[in-house]
Amino acid sequence: MTYFNKTLASLQPSKSVTLMAKTKSLQKTDPDIINLTGGEPDFDTPKPICDEAARQLQAGYTHYTDGPGDPNLRRALARKLRDENHAPYAPENILITPGAKYAVYLAVHAVLNPGDEAMWLTPGWVSYPSIIQACGGVPVAVNLKWEEEYRISLEALESAVSEKTRLLIINFPNNPTGKVLSSEDRQALICFLQKHPRIILLSDEIYEKIIYPGYEAVSLASVPELFQRTIIVNGFSKSCAMTGWRLGYLACCPDIYNVIMKLFQHTISCTSGFLQKAAIVALDCRDEMEQMRLAYEKRRNLLYEGIRKIPSLHMLRPQGAFYAWIRFDTSMDSETLCNYLLDHAKIAGVPGSAYGEESCTCVRFSFAASEDLLRQMLKRLEALCPLP
Ligand SMILES: Cc1ncc(COP(=O)(O)O)c(C=O)c1O
């Protein structure tokens, strides 16, 4: 019999990645399918970034680089973190990683010992529980409620904590709900973390730049008492439409950083030099980022107004990110529901169960898609609803 690492062998495949691939392949024979599964901007990477990458490639930045990252990029990120996030990490404590996903993995691995518990908020990103498990930890969900608009309360956090808890992972603006931390949410988190000084906070801020009027993406690393024990994860995939470049980063205090670096050196060594040089340009592409944000905002409004008119559908108005988290009045579970939508309306979304919501009837649809496609989606839903 083949001998495997039991923990890794028991992991569930990523539902969103699997569904995205499956839907793309179905679209080859049926182009009428509207694929809203992917967490991927539908814009090209801004031209100045691509031009810079080509220039640096030609200039010969094709060798191993400074392990933790290009010094100029790390300095630029330190300025950005200080000025925009009020999180004054030194450039020496910023690490450039192949995507934010790998940054999450490094951070979780560096903090957890086998059997340690890590809390994550549901609904939440599909990969957190699997990454926790892959690192030998035990994921513990903090179940937030639709009826409370996913408000974070001290009681909910306390109900999930134990003496084994070492890590709390948060992600705002949130995938899949589009929610941003309110000041009450922040207060609950701060109060909780002050009560439990052994817990490290991992703050995944990858959707930080995609935020809608009236809301603010505030990093908890800006709270002086939490700064020392917060690990910020961010990247270029979503804000700059650079998913395929695989460029992310993390920032934290020196003692955690030194542990992370050991794993980084033995697994990745460094990320590509010419891509990192282009990432410096990406940080200055404010107009391009704003243009994309404005397009998402228009689509959000279109979808929200459209869904509200369809009886039996409910949608929370996204405050950030590019996902519509829609609840259907139906007796189907979210997985059956997604299959039904694909079979009967040729609309592909990701079931709520992928985000730790086992009993919900929610589906996540990405609105990183053209307005035209979103209008077609609305028409098809209108024709199909109410559902059995
Ligand atoms: C919440 C969250 N964190 C991290 C990532 C990973 O981003 P990257 O493409 O930089 O690995 C994603 C991508 O879907 C995400 O939604």
Check pocket membership of 176 for ligand 1, CB cut-off 6 A. no
Q: What is the residue with the minimal CA distance to atom 7 of ligand 1?
A: 100
Give me the pLDDT at residue 20, please: 85
Confidence of residue 370 (pLDDT cuts 50, 70, 90): very high
State the DSSP H helix or E strand holding residue 167, giving kind and residue range, or none if neither: strand 165-171
Check pocket membership of 237 for ligand 1, CB cut-off 6 A. yes
Give me the pLDDT at residue 358, please: 78
| Single pTM value for the model | 0.96
Check pocket membership of 39 for ligand 1, CB cut-off 6 A. yes
Give me the residue spans of the domains in the chain: 6-45+287-384, 47-284
Give me the pLDDT at residue 208, please: 98
The CATH classification number of 47-284 equals: 3.40.640.10
Which residues does residue 141 pair with via DSSP β-bridges, in sequence order?
A: 120
Check pocket membership of 120 for ligand 1, CB cut-off 6 A. no
- Residue 10, exposed/middle/buried by CB under 10 A (0-12, 13-18, 19+)? exposed
Specify the ligand 1 atom closest to the Cα of 204: 3
Check pocket membership of 251 for ligand 1, CB cut-off 6 A. no
Check pocket membership of 171 for ligand 1, CB cut-off 6 A. yes
Instruction: Report the residue among 127, 170, 239 best suited for mutation to probe ligand 1: largest number of ligand atoms under 8 A from its CB.
Output: 127
Query: 191 by DSSP, 3-state: which?
Result: helix
Check pocket membership of 125 for ligand 1, CB cut-off 6 A. yes
Average pLDDT over residues 158-182: 98
Task: Give CA–CA dist 232/221, Å, rounded.
Answer: 7
Average pLDDT over residues 190-218: 98
Check pocket membership of 239 for ligand 1, CB cut-off 6 A. no
Q: Are 103 and 235 in contact (CB under 8 A)?
A: yes
What is the 1 CA–ligand 1 centroid distance (Å)?
36
Residue-wise pLDDT tens digits, 17-41: 888 888 989 999 999 999 999 899 9
Check pocket membership of 206 for ligand 1, CB cut-off 6 A. yes
Fold that domain 6-45+287-384 belongs to in CATH: Aspartate Aminotransferase, domain 1 (3.90.1150)
Give me the pLDDT at residue 17, please: 83
Q: What is the residue with the minimal CA distance to atom 16 of ligand 1?
A: 175
Backbone angles phi, psi at 140, to 5 degrees: -125, 120
What is the 100 CA–ligand 1 centroid distance (Å)?
6
Average pLDDT over residues 135-159: 97
Average pLDDT over residues 126-148: 96
Check pocket membership of 272 for ligand 1, CB cut-off 6 A. no
Q: Are 282 and 236 in contact (CB under 8 A)?
A: yes
Give me the pLDDT at residue 19, please: 86
Average pLDDT over residues 366-385: 97
Question: Can you tell me which residue has the tokens 């925009």?
Answer: 84
